[in-house]
């Protein structure tokens, strides 16, 4: 069987270093907000070309805390609107509604799966405060257009970078392309911890300071509370794991791109639509998503050929039971996408023979 993503093998590559890092934490006697978190924050801010990085408990919290901080800073109030792509993973939308803000779903560009800048302006009104863009599947959004629109209307730009660690846009890293960014280090992400973890990156000192307090009970100084905060800290153990794995992120990304390059040149089945890619560093291939009109048949066929696939995602957010408030919306681009997408295995540890087998199977599929 060809795994969709072999986490065990990925982490085994760094086993000795991970054990050494874990030992360092165990022996330090300090487990929350210590040297490992401080070092990781500095290293990740440097990697993302931002002034600040704040470690938090997970990717959802990173996005929640950015918006919460803007509320505390008086930039937005409950009931204000945030523009978000309609086809994103549910967490981007949860971060908005969790803060009592209103998610405004905008259709993606069907070729890139990312927010379609041409459709944003028609959704802006007097309550709009931010654009939350998602670099879905690992590909950078067209940030020039988004930043131009945001500048015109005085909106904040927030990047959801949970799938795009290290992707580049005009020589700049994701996480530094807007006002603030949320990262997830869930084990299956391109930079994955060995448990839950997340971070915010920003170059805004006031935002950084507010989030630093919010993640730790709203406290800027021990036993003094500025805000009614939460407990959403990155722990020392996960920070130590991430410091090891950050060293290998770029080489793993190159390996993902090599697999993607082979899929894109060698998959020649006309019933399978391949993802758009300029061939450069704007895509880190968290996922290799193809589309086909016969998805269920295709998935069953690949399973029979020993190839695991996953659907990202089967149900669009506006059709979820949790968001009945959106049930009246018609978003045909997103709805069609959710019916046709399927993700092929892509993994930095994938062997050439496994890539060969996927390509041969996909090319052998006929309806």
Binding site for ligand PLP (CB under 6 A): 58-60, 88-89, 91-92, 134, 160, 162-163, 184, 186, 196, 198
CB of 186 to ligand PLP, least distance (A): 4
Q: What angle do CA 100, 326, 133 make, to 5 degrees?
A: 65
Measured CA to CA, the distance from residue 101 to residue 156 in angstroms comes to 14
**Rounded Cα distance, 133 and 39, in Å:** 28
Catalogue the E-assigned strands of the chain.
Answer: 52-56, 81-85, 102-106, 128-134, 156-160, 168-169, 172-173, 180-184, 198-202, 219-221, 224-225, 288-291, 341-344
Nearest approach, Cβ of residue 158 and ligand PLP (Å) = 11
C-beta of 188 vs 279, nearer to ligand PLP: 188
Question: CB 136 → ligand PLP: shortest distance, Å?
Answer: 7
Nearer Cβ to ligand PLP (66/76) = 66
Which pair of structure tokens corresponds to residue 91?
């967490």
Residue nearest ligand PLP, Cβ-based:
59
Decide whether 158 or 272 has the Cβ nearer to ligand PLP: 158
Closer CB to ligand PLP, 163 or 269, in the complex: 163
Q: State how far the Cα of 186 lies from the Cα of 215, in Å rounded to an integer.
A: 18
- The minimum distance between CB 19 and ligand PLP, in angstroms, equals 24
Q: Least distance to ligand PLP from the beta carbon of 198, Å? A: 5
- Shortest distance in whole angstroms from residue 228 CB to ligand PLP: 22
Cβ proximity to ligand PLP: between 89 and 301 the closer is: 89
- In 3D, which of 313, 245, 249, 312 has the Cα closest to residue 281? 249
Collapsing DSSP to helix, strand or coil, 65 comes out as helix
3-class SS of residue 218: coil
* Least Cβ distance, residue 139 to ligand PLP (angstroms): 12
Q: Indicate the residue among 234 and 267 with the shorter CB distance to ligand PLP.
A: 234
314 in Cβ contact with 341 (< 8 Å) = no
- d(Cα 29, Cα 6) in Å, to the nearest integer? 32
- Taking the least distance from each CB to ligand PLP, the nearer of 64 and 272 is 64
Round to whole Å and give the CA distance between 181 and 166: 13
Pick the closer one to ligand PLP by CB: 267 or 289: 289
Q: Which is nearer to ligand PLP, 112 or 184 (CB)?
A: 184
For the bound state, the minimum distance from the C-beta of residue 200 to ligand PLP, rounded and expressed in Å, comes to 12
CB of 281 to ligand PLP, least distance (A): 20
List Cβ neighbours of 175 (8 Å cut-off, separation of 6 or more): 48, 49, 50, 159, 161, 181, 183, 201
**Beta bridge partner(s), residue 198:** 56, 184
Q: How many residues does the chain have?
A: 367
């Amino acid at each position: 069987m060809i795994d969709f993503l072999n986490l065990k093998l990925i982490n085994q590559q760094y086993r000795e270093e991970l054990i050494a890092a874990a030992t360092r934490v165990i022996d330090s006697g300090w487990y929350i907000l210590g040297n490992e978190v401080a070092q990781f924050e500095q290293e990740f801010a440097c990697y993302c070309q931002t002034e600040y990085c704040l470690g938090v408990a997970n990717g959802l919290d990173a996005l929640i805390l950015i918006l919460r901080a803007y509320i505390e800073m008086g930039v937005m109030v409950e009931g204000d609107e945030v523009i978000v792509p309609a086809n994103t993973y549910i967490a981007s939308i949860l971060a908005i509604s969790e803060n009592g803000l209103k998610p405004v779903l905008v259709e993606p560009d069907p070729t890139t799966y990312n927010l379609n800048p041409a459709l944003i302006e028609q959704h802006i009104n007097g309550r709009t405060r931010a654009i939350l863009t998602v670099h879905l599947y690992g590909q950078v959004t067209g940030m020039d257009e988004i930043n131009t629109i945001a500048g015109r209307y005085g909106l904040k730009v927030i990047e959801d970078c949970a799938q795009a660690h290290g992707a580049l846009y005009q020589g700049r890293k994701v996480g530094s392309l807007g006002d603030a960014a949320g990262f997830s280090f869930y084990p299956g992400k391109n930079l994955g911890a060995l448990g839950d973890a997340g971070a915010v990156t920003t170059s805004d000192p006031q935002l950084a300071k507010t989030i630093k307090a919010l993640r730790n009970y709203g406290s800027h100084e021990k036993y003094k509370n500025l805000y009614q905060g939460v407990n959403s800290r990155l722990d020392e153990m996960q920070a130590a794991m991430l410091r090891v794995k950050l060293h290998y992120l770029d080489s793993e990304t190159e390996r993902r791109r090599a697999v993607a390059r082979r899929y894109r040149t060698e998959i020649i089945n006309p019933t399978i639509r391949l993802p758009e890619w300029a061939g450069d560093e704007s895509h880190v291939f968290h996922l290799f998503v193809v589309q086909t009109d016969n998805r269920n048949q295709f998935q069953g066929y690949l399973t029979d050929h020993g190839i695991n696939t996953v659907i990202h995602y089967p149900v669009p957010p506006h059709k979820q039971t949790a968001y009945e408030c959106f049930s009246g919306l018609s978003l045909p681009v997103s709805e069609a996408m959710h019916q046709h997408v399927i993700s092929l295995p892509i993994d930095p540890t994938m062997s050439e023979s496994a890539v060969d087998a996927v390509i041969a199977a996909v090319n052998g599929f006929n309806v």
